[in-house]
Structure 1
Amino acid sequence: MAVADLMVLIIEVILSELSSAYFPYSFLNLYHICKLRIFFNCISIDCSVWLTVTFTFDRFITICNQNLRAKYCTEKTAAVVITVTCILSIIQNVPVYIFLVPMYIIDNVAWYCWVSSDVYTTPKGAAFSLIETILTPVVPILLIMFLNALTIKHIIHSNRVRSGLRLDKNAESGTDQEVENRRKSIFLLLAISGNFVLLWMVTFVCFMTVNFLDVHLFGSDYNDPFTIAELSGYMLRALGACTNMFIYGVSQNKFREELKNVIKSPFVLFSNSIKCL
């Protein structure tokens, strides 16, 4: 998931937005390169979103279903889920590559690309646009909110049971570390749901708008209110890739340990090389 978020930042922010703003006529903006860039950008976004969903489901199983946890929460299952998610994301975005057409033709050279008008005028294109909006981000938003709600409900119920047992046993007064950890989990889950929904909301509204009003995505008129809203949504979506990686990754003890190992590895390798000499 961290890799997918990082790819979103590299492709969408660096190769797309920054290159178009500061190097408008670089090779990255040639039509065929532009198509590939947007195609892989859409794939990375879908992977990021759906891996966030699968991670949320994994957390739900870990906390709420101890019987299924031993079978589902394994490295083998994770590898299968990640592979299937990436393959489906590629398949889902094949029509995006097909619907992209040149924006300008200068000296017989095609520059930039945008969504063909067929997306808005033909039944197949309109159906694809609607399905794409439903798959990303409507369904992920609903799934993340639903799974986190169930997880929080389970944590609250477990805390009540634990508090009752402590009272029955006349436990000493003081802070229950397990309850504190569960309370932190609730705040984390609320932050995850709120962050994802809020940062995707503008893009979601824009995607829904093109299905019902006479407006187009990837517009070139930067004075148009819809284009401004669309670009603002993309900015917030890119910000979401940063915060998702931080919330899901840095908050995990094992992730922090692995990160420390990665940072230490060059020094360990250097130290071992010196010892060998």
Structure 2
Amino acid sequence: MHGKLAGLVYAIYYPVLAAAGVPGNLVTIIILSRGRCGLSLCITRYLVGMAATDLLLLIMAVILHRISMLYFPVLFLQTTPICSVRIGLIFAARDSSVWLTVAFTIDRFVAICFQKFKSNYCTEKTAAVVIGIVCALSLLKNIPLYLAIEPLYIMNDVPWFCNFKASFYSNVFWTAFNWIDHILNPCIPFLLMLLLNSLTVRYILVVSRARRRLRIQTIRQKQRDPEMESRKNSIVLLFTISGSFFLLWATRVVNFLSVRFTKTNYSTGSNPSNPKFILQETGVMLQLFSCCTNTCIYACTQRKFREEFKNGFKYLFHLIIRK
């Protein structure tokens, strides 16, 4: 990939991502907040929280970081104090988005497999507390990043852009921090989601078989079983969640392992034809793309959500026609 081609890809990809992701997450937040999708308040809380963190990540990482760097490189947003704060918020929003997905997976696991605890754990209050804790811990975890950043250069006594210090790649503390960062996100989330989804699917299959045998014994004629169909949809949903998360985050893990085990620094972008640079940027692009898919996987598969979206689109269309 040559420099001009890479620049063209970025110039097209990130604006399209922002144009699709920001309105998509906003619409999701509005529709779910109205409470007309037939979802419990607990589920709604998680979905709105996930959409909000995805929206924040798109704004901070795509619009204020990637797009502004492409089209407005000398904007005041690129000064080091603002840039360093923005990077911390990007990492915090990223962690919050992933761990809220894990928290929602745990909530569904408890609701399906441990129905005795469902009334105590799967509540709106618990969801609100979990969301608050996840976001607070994600913010606190990434505060040290502010100390790892230095100006790329200083012009007229004004520090510009952000560059990770050389010690970030060699110092024992930062090496440990980097390992912990990648273990907490996405290694542990992926393993937890894979385990919980596998157990949930196993439970659904066992219960479905038992229910099918019971129905064969009691009902000889073929009838539609809404509960079994709902469980089948749950299996498809769970595998989609795991598969999407793995596919969109696997490149980032591979890049991290490649950097650490080859004992090389991350590419600085000076050589777009370097395979390591391509691997790094591909991982970032796929990671940010997940902000447009996480909420859709959970919410857009719901029939009532689609109906609310259609009704909102029709209402907006009628308003435009009247004008």
- TM-score, normalised via structure 2 length: 0.77
- Corresponding position of 1:118: 167
Task: Provide structure 2 residue ranges, at least 5 long, that are not aligned to the other structure.
Answer: 1-49, 317-323
Deviations 1:51-109 (A, max 9, x none): 00001111111111110100001111011100100111011111212111212233432
Counterpart-to-counterpart distance in 2, 1:178 and 1:141: 28
Find out whether 1:148 has 2:202 as its counterpart.
no
- Corresponding position of 2:79: 30
Counterpart-to-counterpart distance in 2, 1:167 and 1:33: 66
Counterpart-to-counterpart distance in 1, 2:82 and 2:278: 24
Counterpart-to-counterpart distance in 1, 2:130 and 2:86: 25
Question: Amino acid of the residue matched to residue 126 of structure 2?
Answer: T
Question: Amino acid of the residue matched to residue 157 of structure 1?
Answer: V
Deviations 1:211-239 (A, max 9, x none): 22233336232333212211111110111
Shift in alpha-carbon separation, 1:144–1:92, aligned structure 2, 3 A: same
Of residues 100, 121, 145 in structure 1, which corresponds to 2:149?
Answer: 100
Equivalences for residues 164-203 of structure 1 within 5 A = 164-203=213-252
- Corresponding position of 1:272: none
- Corresponding position of 2:140: 91
Question: Amino acid of the residue matched to residue 230 of structure 1?
Answer: Q
Taking only aligned residues, the RMSD between alpha carbons, in angstroms, comes to 2.2
- Corresponding position of 1:232: 282
Of residues 123, 127, 130 in structure 2, which corresponds to 1:78?
Answer: 127
Aligned residues with identical type, % of pairs: 43
- Corresponding position of 1:12: 61
Task: Tell me the CA shift for residue 39 of structure 1.
Answer: 0.7
SS in 1 for 2:260: coil
Counterpart-to-counterpart distance in 1, 2:267 and 2:140: 22
Counterpart-to-counterpart distance in 2, 1:72 and 1:258: 28
Counterpart-to-counterpart distance in 2, 1:218 and 1:14: 22
Task: Tell me the CA shift for residue 11 of structure 1.
Answer: 1.1
SS in 2 for 1:24: coil
My pick for the range that moved more, 100-109 or 17-26, is 100-109
Question: Amino acid of the residue matched to residue 248 of structure 2?
Answer: L
Task: Tell me the CA shift for residue 210 of structure 1.
Answer: 2.8
Task: Provide structure 1 residue ranges, at least 5 long, that are not aligned to the other structure.
Answer: 267-277
Shift in alpha-carbon separation, 1:56–1:23, aligned structure 2, 3 A: same
Deviations 1:12-53 (A, max 9, x none): 111111111111111111111110111111110000000000
Deviations 1:104-148 (A, max 9, x none): 233432221122221221111111111111011100011111111
Counterpart-to-counterpart distance in 1, 2:308 and 2:91: 29
Find out whether 1:223 has 2:273 as its counterpart.
yes
Counterpart-to-counterpart distance in 2, 1:226 and 1:7: 28
Contact 1:31 1:102 in 2 (8 A): yes
Deviations 1:226-261 (A, max 9, x none): 122111111101111110011122234676688789
Contact 1:215 1:226 in 2 (8 A): no
Question: Amino acid of the residue matched to residue 240 of structure 1?
Answer: S
Counterpart-to-counterpart distance in 2, 1:73 and 1:258: 25
Counterpart-to-counterpart distance in 2, 1:107 and 1:220: 25
Contact 2:167 2:174 in 1 (8 A): yes
Question: Amino acid of the residue matched to residue 288 of structure 2?
Answer: A
Counterpart-to-counterpart distance in 2, 1:128 and 1:258: 44
- Corresponding position of 1:274: none
Counterpart-to-counterpart distance in 1, 2:305 and 2:149: 39
Structure having greater relative contact order (Cα 8 Å, sep ≥ 6): 2
Shift in alpha-carbon separation, 1:75–1:31, aligned structure 2, 3 A: same
Find out whether 1:247 has 2:297 as its counterpart.
yes
Contact 1:126 1:211 in 2 (8 A): no
Find out whether 1:209 has 2:293 as its counterpart.
no
Task: Tell me the CA shift for residue 262 of structure 1.
Answer: 8.2
- TM-score, normalised via structure 1 length: 0.89
